[in-house]
Amino acid sequence: MRIKNNILRRNKLGLPLWLVIILSATIMGCDDSESGTGYIQLYNLSSNAPGIYLTVDQYDDDDFDEKTYPPISFTNVSGRFTYDVDTYDVELAWQDEYNNNFDLETVYEDQLKIAKDMVEFMVIAEDIKAPNVLVYQFPIRDEDELDDDNDDEVFNIRILNMHIASEGVDMYYSEADETFNEAKFISQTSYTEMSDNQKIAQDDYIFYLTAAGSEEVLYQSQDISFPYSSEYIFVIRENNGVGSSPFIIDKVSTSSSVEYPHADSEAKYRAYNGIIEHHLLPIYHSFFDLHINGVDEQAEISSLPFGEFSDSIRSDSGDYSMSLVSSSNHDLIIKNHLLELNENTDKTVFFYLHEEAVDEDGDGDIDEDGDGYIDEIEINVNSLVVNNSQSESIYSHQINVVNLIDKDEIQDDYSLINVYFVRSNEIIDTAEKFVTSKYATPVSVELLNNTYTVYVVAKENNSDIILSITELTLDESSKDQFIILERDINSPSGYKMLITNQTQS
């Protein structure tokens, strides 16, 4: 504005208009704020959203440029995208058709001004049907600041409070070998407030949260190491896991995000009985009891029948041993199988029976007499521990396929099984969504809301054989699902498919 006023005053002295225009263009061209680059970074904090796509449009007199970036799932962050200083149209959307980036459901659109050497940190939060999109602007560090941070051995931290129910939160930190009594105050933030940057010495720290003005600790992190002069945004958000603390922290960097639940948060687990009866396991009659850390008088899970899940059990996090006994006679089936319960997690333990051919002389031939049958088999009862999805997405859902169909050692049949998810306008050959499942190796796929015919197909003597068919309907009220594949002597094909929620309501 001062430049314009100076030009006008000089013009009153009689300078020619063409000279005024040249002077104005020359002076304005020296303004660095009109050139240079800045950055856009997207952080998805809408818990019921699928992956969110960022699209950036740029218009000028001669060209139109549009760039759509890969989707960012809940609690994840994009890298920093570089753009020239200018104003851009930006859109946030989710994909409602497979493999079609042009068919996106837009949930937010606006203009975004990129400033020189500044980061536009976009946060999409709350309900995806009516999201709250926030943009925070902060400067990048120049070379001098980077050098100083390295010399001073400090890292950079900002605090962003995205816990919608909190009326204000205080954050503290202490060294890893200290307690809250020795903790230092970092900042107090209310919902959607981001603190100024602070520089802290590189070390290992514990972070604490209290209500504003309180000294009652509501959250305490595990030890977090800071060995470099990096910069982070610590995002305080609602805990969607099973732990009792209402808070969880995401450590967001320039390209990634790591979540830190409350230290020693509780966990949950449940069991599934997939153990078929077998003549080599005469002590077992379709029911088992599960004991944790040794067999004692009281089982954690009692009389769990074949083909059923137990109720979920809440437990302290930690490492445990699992033992199974027969419900009918209390004979030991297995002992000391490992159960790792990480903080804030929900897990399912699948127990199943595995047959294995015996090759006594080690020559690789398990049919020495050539009669087409395995000479001898042995059995093992195995455990498979699977993390249950805790996603709240309403437009797409995770399907986790657990294949408990053991392969035939002679024919080598069913070593691989394909599971196809076929929509009304598809057949198996054209289905866009399918997975290939190996025995006792979970595999997952993300499906958009729709009605699918699910085909389980195996290869037998070079022919495709349908083992099971069912219908699956997913909508906004659906949970993430397990599809469990098993033998079933009572079905026409000898196999069955069980579809069930990954977590209990």
Answer yes or no: pTM beyond 0.75.
yes
Q: What pLDDT digit, counting tens, does each position of 241-251 carry?
A: 999 999 999 99
Is residue 5 pLDDT above 50, yes or no?
no
- DSSP for 68-96 reads EPPPB-TT-B--PEEEESEEEEEEEEEE-
Q: What is the pLDDT of residue 14?
A: 41
What is the mean pLDDT of the segment spanning 414-424? Answer: 94
Instruction: Spell out the residues 6+ positions from residue 440 whose beta carbon is closer than 8 angstroms to its own.
Output: 352, 354, 382, 384, 402, 403, 404
Q: What is the pLDDT of residue 369?
A: 67
Q: What is the pLDDT of residue 131?
A: 98
Percent of the chain past pLDDT 90, that is, above it, reads 79
Q: What pLDDT digit, counting tens, does each position of 326-366 carry?
A: 999 999 999 999 999 999 999 999 999 998 877 676 666 66
Query: Considering the chain, what is the average pLDDT of its residues?
Result: 90
Provide the 10 A C-beta neighbour count for residue 414: 21
- Quote the tokens at residue 380: 């093992």
What is the mean pLDDT of the segment spanning 6-10? Answer: 32
Q: What is the pLDDT of residue 13?
A: 36
Confidence of residue 420 (pLDDT cuts 50, 70, 90): very high
Is residue 109 pLDDT above 80, yes or no?
yes
CA 256 to chain CA centroid, nearest Å: 12
Q: What is the second-level CATH architecture of the domain 389-505?
A: Sandwich (2.60)
**CB of 295 within 8 A of CB of 325?**
yes
Q: What is the pLDDT of residue 346?
A: 97
Q: What is the pLDDT of residue 368?
A: 63
- Count how many residues are written for the chain: 505
DSSP lists the bridge partners of residue 120 as 40, 137
Is residue 315 pLDDT above 90, yes or no?
yes
Is residue 26 pLDDT above 50, yes or no?
no
Residue labelled with tokens 């070079």 = 462
Q: What is the pLDDT of residue 17?
A: 38
Is residue 56 pLDDT above 70, yes or no?
yes
What is the mean pLDDT of the segment spanning 285-291? Answer: 97
Q: State in words which class domain 266-387 has.
A: mainly beta
**Domain residue extents for the chain:** 2-30, 33-139, 143-260, 266-387, 389-505
Alpha-helical runs (H) found in 308-437: none
The H or E element containing residue 150 is helix 143-152
Q: What is the pLDDT of residue 7?
A: 32
Q: What is the pLDDT of residue 22?
A: 35
Q: What is the pLDDT of residue 58?
A: 82
Q: Which amino acid is present at 286?
A: S
CATH 2.60.40.3880 fits 143-260, yes or no: no
Q: What pLDDT digit, counting tens, does each position of 169-187 carry?
A: 999 999 999 999 999 999 9
Residue scoring higher pLDDT (414 or 484): 484
Confidence of residue 9 (pLDDT cuts 50, 70, 90): very low
Q: What is the pLDDT of residue 11?
A: 38
Residue scoring higher pLDDT (1 or 141): 141
Alpha-carbon span 39 to 84, nearest angstrom: 9
Q: CA separation (Å) from 502 to 96, 250, 297?
A: 23, 24, 30
What is the mean pLDDT of the segment spanning 391-396? Answer: 96
Q: Which amino acid is present at 1?
A: M
Beta strands 313-315 and 301-305: pairing type? unpaired
Q: What is the pLDDT of residue 102?
A: 66
Beta strands 154-161 and 231-238: pairing type? parallel
DSSP lists the bridge partners of residue 332 as 325
CATH topology of domain 33-139: Immunoglobulin-like (2.60.40)
Alpha-carbon span 362 to 378, nearest angstrom: 15
Residue scoring higher pLDDT (166 or 261): 261
**CB of 171 within 8 A of CB of 236?**
yes
What is the mean pLDDT of the segment spanning 92-119? Answer: 91
Percent of the chain past pLDDT 70, that is, above it, reads 88
Beta strands 301-305 and 287-292: pairing type? antiparallel
Helix axes 2-11, 17-29, angle to 10 degrees: 160
Confidence of residue 403 (pLDDT cuts 50, 70, 90): very high
